[in-house]
Amino acid sequence: MTAPASPKDSFDLAGEFAELDAARPQPWRDAWRSLPAAQQPDWPDPAQLALVTAELASLPPLVFAGECDLLVDRIAAVTRGEAFVLQGGDCAETFSGSTASAVRAKLRTLLQMAVVLTYGASVPIVKIGRMAGQFAKPRSKPTEIRNGVELPAYRGDAVNGLDFAAGVRTPDPSRLLRAYHCSAVTLNLCRAFTTGGYADLHQVHAWNQDFVADSPAGQRYERLAGEIDRALGFMRACGAYPTELRSVEFYSSHEALLLDYDDALTRVDSRTGRVYDTSAHFVWIGERTRSLDGAHIEFAKSISNPIGVKLGPDTTPDDAIGLVKALNQDRRPGRLTLITRMGAGRIREALPPLLDAVAKEGTPVAWVCDPMHGNTFETASGYKTRHLDDVLDELDGFFQAHRAAGTHPGGIHIEFTGDNVTECTGGSYQLDADDLHQRYETACDPRLNRSQALDLAFTVADRYRRS
Ligand code: PEP
Ligand code: CO
C-alpha cells in the first residue's frame, strides 16, 4: 500500500518499531501460548521450529503500523456505509506462484474488478489482496488417504508440499522462512505495480488488452473503460490532473492460522507501545479456529491491526456478540470486520439474527460477504468446485438481509486468480462440470477465473447500487 491520502498519513507511515527484547516481558505471547491452538501442524522437530521463529523475529517487518492504522480508517468508512471492501486472491498462495507475471495477473484482475465496482457502485473501494502471506490452510481432516496410504494433509506451502509423498507432506519449519520471503517478494511487486504507473487509471484499457476479443466480460469491461476514458478526457480538458488517479492504495492480508509464524512477526510500535502483526496489514481468524477460549482469538486480541473473523451458518447471535466484545473492546470503528460465509441456501435465515444482535450491541463492525466457502461441492468426476450462480445467490441474500436490517453491506471476500483456469462452473463462458479438467490448478479451493471475477464485479456493482 502507499499513496498516502494526506500529509498526516505520510507522517504516520514512518512509524518505527522497537526491537523486541527477549528479556523484556511480552505478555501477549504468554497469553495465547497458554491456550489450545487448533489446526497447528505436527512439527517433527520443535528445536528446528524454535530456530526458525527466532530468525523470523529478527527479520524486518513487512508492513508498518501507520499503514495498518490507515487501513483501520478506511474500514471505519466501510462501517459507516461510505466505502466498500474488495478482498480477494488465491485460496492458497504457492511458492512457485510468487512470480512477477502471476502477481501482476492477480493484481490486474483486482484492479479491473475495483474499477467496475467504483464506477458501477459510485463508492470508494478498499482493495485488500488475499496475497503476500496466504500460505497456510486449515483442513477438515489432519491426514489424507490414497490407495491405502495415509499421509499428513497438505496445510499450505508454509507447512508442507502438495505432492502426495511422505517426505513432501512432513511439516518442515524452514518453509515458514520461505513463506516470509515469498510474502516480501509478492508485497514488493504489489507495491511497485500499484504505485509505479501500472495502476494509473489511464491504463484502464491496457489491463484488458489480452482479454477483450473473445470474452463477454472483457467486452463489457471495455465499454465501461471507454466511458472512464471520456470522463478522464473531460477532466484533462478542465485542467484537472488528480494524483489520486495515478496510483492505488493496496493492502495485504492472510488468515492468521500458524500462530508461531504470525507471533514471530509481531513487533512493538515505538510510537505507541502497541503490538502489531507485521506480516500483513489485515489478518483474519478462520471459521475453524475462532473459538472464544482458543489461542487464535487471544492472539488477535493482542494485536492492533485491523482484523477479521469468519462466521459460518451455525454462528449464534451469542457467538457473534462474544467475538465482537472480545475483539473490539474499545469499539473502534474499522478494527473489526465480520466475514460471513453462510452458503446460498442458508444465508437468508442465518444472517439476519446476527445483524440484529450486533446492531443492538452497538459496536461498529464492517460486514463482508465471503460467498465462496459455503458453496463448495464435489462433481461426479471428483472435482471440488463452486457454481457462480450459487456465489451470486449468496451475495443477493447478503444484500437483501442488510437492506431489511438497515445495516451496511460492506464488501466481498472472494477467491480468484488472474488466469483462465477452469475451477468454478458458470459465468458468461458457461463453464460446466465437463470443462473442469482443462485447467484445474488450485492448490486448495476452486477459484473464480478472471472472466468470472469480472462477471461477479458487474453483478455486485449492480446490487450495491440498488441496495
Ligand atoms: C479460507 O478463507 O480459505 C477458509 C478456509 O475459510 P473459512 O475459515 O471461512 O472456512
Ligand atoms: Co479457501
Express each pLDDT in 378-418 by its tens digit: 999 999 999 999 999 999 999 999 999 999 999 999 999 99
Nearest residue by C-alpha to atom 8 in ligand 1: 286
Give the residue, out of 94, 128, 257, 287, with the most ligand 1 atoms within 8 A of its beta carbon, to mutate for a pocket test. 287
Q: Which ligand is nearest to the CA of 339?
A: 1
Give the residues across from 337 on adjacent strands. Answer: 308, 366
Ligand 2 centre distance from Cα of residue 213 (Å): 31
Ligand 2 centre distance from Cα of residue 362 (Å): 31
Give the residue, out of 370, 376, 384, 386, with the most ligand 1 atoms within 8 A of its beta carbon, to mutate for a pocket test. 370
pLDDT at 22: 66
Average pLDDT for 210-220: 81
Average pLDDT for 311-323: 98
**Sign of the C-alpha dihedral computed for residues 97, 100, 102 and 107 taken in this order:** positive
**Distance (Å, whole) CA 83 – CA 5:** 15
Closest CA to 290 of 282, 281, 300, 277: 300
Strands 84-89 and 17-18: unpaired
Ligand 1 pocket check for 286: Cβ under 6 Å: yes
User: What would the pLDDT profile of 363-381 be if each residue is shown by its tens digit?
Assistant: 999 999 999 999 999 999 9
Ligand 1 pocket check for 310: Cβ under 6 Å: yes
Average pLDDT for 72-85: 98
Nearest residue by C-alpha to atom 10 in ligand 1: 287
pLDDT band at 270 (very low <50, low <70, confident <90, very high): confident
Average pLDDT for 22-40: 87
C-alpha cell at 178: 520461505
Ligand 2 centre distance from Cα of residue 374 (Å): 10
Residue with cell 506462484: 97
Closest CA to 428 of 448, 442, 400, 447: 448
Nearest residue by C-alpha to atom 1 in ligand 1: 91
Ligand 2 centre distance from Cα of residue 284 (Å): 13
Ligand 1 pocket check for 108: Cβ under 6 Å: no
Ligand 2 centre distance from Cα of residue 236 (Å): 43
Q: Which ligand is nearest to the CA of 139?
A: 1
Ligand 1 pocket check for 341: Cβ under 6 Å: yes
User: Would the pLDDT of 52 be above 90?
Assistant: yes
Q: Which atom of ligand 1 is nearest to the CA of 339?
A: 9
Q: Which atom of ligand 1 is nearest to the CA of 287?
A: 8
Ligand 2 centre distance from Cα of residue 447 (Å): 8
pLDDT at 16: 65
pTM: 0.95
Ligand 1 centre distance from Cα of residue 130 (Å): 11
User: What would the pLDDT profile of 332-358 be if each residue is shown by its tens digit?
Assistant: 999 999 999 999 999 999 999 999 999
Average pLDDT for 124-144: 97
Average pLDDT for 74-80: 98
Average predicted confidence (pLDDT) for the chain: 93
Closest CA to 157 of 213, 73, 95, 85: 95
